[in-house]
Structure 1
Amino acid sequence: MSSPVTWESETELVANAVSELARRTRFPVAFGGLIEEGVVSVTSIVGNRTRSLDGLRVRPERGLGGRAMMELRPRMTSDYGSSQQITHDYDMFVLGEGLRTLLALPIVVRGRSRGVLYAGTWDEEPVGGITTAPAMQVAQSVADELRIRDEVEQRLRARTADDTVAPPQREQLRESFAELRSIAASIDDDSLRSRIARVERRLAILAGDAVPVATGPVPTVRLSPREIDVLACAALGSTNAEIASRLGLREGTVKAYLGTAMSKLDASTRHSAVAKARRAGLLP
């Protein structure tokens, strides 16, 4: 049996995102929450001057956040109190804090809103792409985390019902692992890359008992992140050219990484290298 997957709580996930939203934008106030039973309960607030935002619960279609969730895209107003584009169900909360400029960012997973993040300021301030871009990245990182959790938890439930990993599910695990490697290779956010790495390890654990048991001690091998990237793609049967396209590398660079990985694993072919990497717990 694989060890159970443990996550930070959803409340902690939102709290980290809200703090990151305030850090990465010029908005002094940030808050947000996830949908539960059809309503977003704001569970995290930073930078506020009053307690007015406490207890805020947002319904889809209502207010700026509700509109953002229904339209599946960010919405912003630079004069919240006089805006005619939104309902004013939550004026007591927003205007009670004195917020004038407010940005609402839906957390969208597979075409469905799962929550909303807000960033605001007490002044009227035009918001351009230089501010909204990092804010949208924060919301997307939460959506990515929730999507990954959904996929892993779904596979965990399937394995609870049947502890053996069938070949189709095994390949899905490996495809997910390779996709995560390619996503991680394309982003610069160290915090998000670290979270992706934790999920990669969980995927490897989930598929661990699908690997044939070999006799003798399991070798200790250290591969670079890029060597694991190319091996994960090679495990799916991708050619060097396909791996290069997927990872944004030159074909010669892919060949070099495969060569060093094969050398470290004492493997004469890429297929042998993949098998040995799986035995060492480096690939699912």
Structure 2
Amino acid sequence: MSTIARCEPVEQLVAEGVRELARCTRFPVAFGGLIDHGTVSVTNIIGNRTRSLDGLSVRPERGLGGRAMIELRPRMTNDYRTSRQITHDYDVYVLGEGLRTLLALPIIVDGRPRGVLYAGAWEESQIGGVTTAPAMGVVQRIGTELRVRDEVERRVREMAPAPVLDATQREDLRESFAELRSIAALLTDDALRGRIASVERRLLGLAAPQAEPVTEPVQTVHLSRRELDVLSCAAMGSTNAQIAAQLSLREGTVKAYLGAAMSKLDASTRHAAVTRARRLGLLP
């Protein structure tokens, strides 16, 4: 049964893992840490005789631990000083402690390295399956715990309420949306129009959490591009003549588009049409 407790701080999670690794491997020294800004800073050390391991920071691909992280599997050496299978970037730390045998185990989450734990001894020791199997169990349990925490944090972020816009900010957002619709209406470049549409969707996303709840049966209302252009301008209080000038349309055409939008939204006035469009998330 794992000795790693749930819901403890990440630092404590690693500390417990280091202690458990020493117990299950019976190696006198154990240490490790998690990746932070691209490197593993060793934050927990037990059994050491000196302070040489203090400040050890391991980069992927470098040293025994870096190789373990890149290959996503345990790496070991029973004669660290003479090993030709690794880089020796960290000799001052490892040899300073006098370690000869060293085992490095990557902490893996969703196929990516998140840290590394080490177990070592001052004398040459043979490392076999009897040792590596329980050692891998330690890092796998840490990886599982980190994966669960990541998922919890993701769900919390998704559930977090969006920032509330004040009246001025909300009006600015609506004006920006109407201006974008007016600009897009004059474009012939479909790619550029698509980019503007992407921005519009983000603006709608900002407004959506504050939209008035729909108390009527949910219906699918589809407004044409031009109908939405006209309605977004009308939402800002523009007259038909002003909308016609903004969108380079005839005033009679504006009236026709506005009438079609009102009909689809089952609204008798342009104000009612704007209100319903906002409730349905068609306008911010």
TM range, smaller chain: 0.5 to 0.7
TM-fit CA distance, 1:46: 0.5
Letter of the 1:50 counterpart: T
TM-fit CA distance, 1:11: 1.3
Residue of structure 2 in register with 1:11 after alignment: 11
TM-fit CA distance, 1:124: 0.6
Residue of structure 1 in register with 2:54 after alignment: 54
Residue of structure 2 in register with 1:41 after alignment: 41
- In 2, Cα distance between the equivalents of 1:13 and 1:117? 12
Residue of structure 1 in register with 2:141 after alignment: 141
Residue of structure 2 in register with 1:117 after alignment: 117
TM-fit CA distance, 1:106: 0.3
- In 1, Cα distance between the equivalents of 2:161 and 2:64? 42
Residue of structure 2 in register with 1:219 after alignment: none
Residue of structure 2 in register with 1:190 after alignment: none
Asked if 1:63 is matched to 2:68, the reply is: no
1:25-40 alignment runs, 5 A limit: 25-40=25-40
- In 1, Cα distance between the equivalents of 2:49 and 2:65? 21
Q: TM-score, normalised by structure 2?
A: 0.54
TM-fit CA distance, 1:112: 0.4
- In 2, Cα distance between the equivalents of 1:61 and 1:139? 19
TM-fit CA distance, 1:73: 0.5
- In 2, Cα distance between the equivalents of 1:10 and 1:119? 20
- In 2, Cα distance between the equivalents of 1:121 and 1:50? 13
- In 1, Cα distance between the equivalents of 2:148 and 2:81? 38
4+ runs of 1 displaced by more than 6 Å?
A: none
TM-fit CA distance, 1:8: 2.2
- In 2, Cα distance between the equivalents of 1:140 and 1:7? 17
TM-fit CA distance, 1:113: 0.2
TM-fit CA distance, 1:159: 1.1
Match of 2:120, SS state, is strand
- In 1, Cα distance between the equivalents of 2:63 and 2:18? 19
Q: Deviations over 1:215-271 (max 9, x none)?
A: xxxxxxxxxxxxxxxxxxxxxxxxxxxxxxxxxxxxxxxxxxxxxxxxxxxxxxxxx
- In 2, Cα distance between the equivalents of 1:17 and 1:38? 21
TM-fit CA distance, 1:9: 2.0
- In 1, Cα distance between the equivalents of 2:39 and 2:161? 32
Match of 1:14, SS state, is helix
Residue of structure 2 in register with 1:236 after alignment: none
- In 2, Cα distance between the equivalents of 1:125 and 1:17? 22
Residue of structure 2 in register with 1:242 after alignment: none
Q: Deviations over 1:183-234 (max 9, x none)?
A: xxxxxxxxxxxxxxxxxxxxxxxxxxxxxxxxxxxxxxxxxxxxxxxxxxxx
TM-fit CA distance, 1:17: 0.5
Match of 1:96, SS state, is helix
Return 5+ residue gaps in structure 1 as ranges.
Answer: 1-5, 163-284
- In 1, Cα distance between the equivalents of 2:9 and 2:93? 26
Match of 2:125, SS state, is coil
- In 1, Cα distance between the equivalents of 2:63 and 2:143? 21
Residues paired across the two proteins, number: 157
Residue of structure 2 in register with 1:23 after alignment: 23
Q: TM-score, normalised by structure 1?
A: 0.54
Larger radius of gyration: 2
Letter of the 2:94 counterpart: V
- In 1, Cα distance between the equivalents of 2:60 and 2:41? 12
Residue of structure 2 in register with 1:89 after alignment: 89
TM-fit CA distance, 1:161: 3.6
- In 1, Cα distance between the equivalents of 2:73 and 2:32? 15
Match of 1:127, SS state, is coil
Residue of structure 1 in register with 2:131 after alignment: 131
- In 2, Cα distance between the equivalents of 1:98 and 1:60? 23
Q: Deviations over 1:24-61 (max 9, x none)?
A: 11211000000000010000000111110000000000
TM-fit CA distance, 1:21: 0.6
- In 1, Cα distance between the equivalents of 2:110 and 2:146? 10
- In 1, Cα distance between the equivalents of 2:141 and 2:123? 28
- In 2, Cα distance between the equivalents of 1:115 and 1:78? 22
- In 2, Cα distance between the equivalents of 1:144 and 1:95? 32
- In 1, Cα distance between the equivalents of 2:161 and 2:22? 42
Match of 2:108, SS state, is strand
Match of 1:17, SS state, is helix
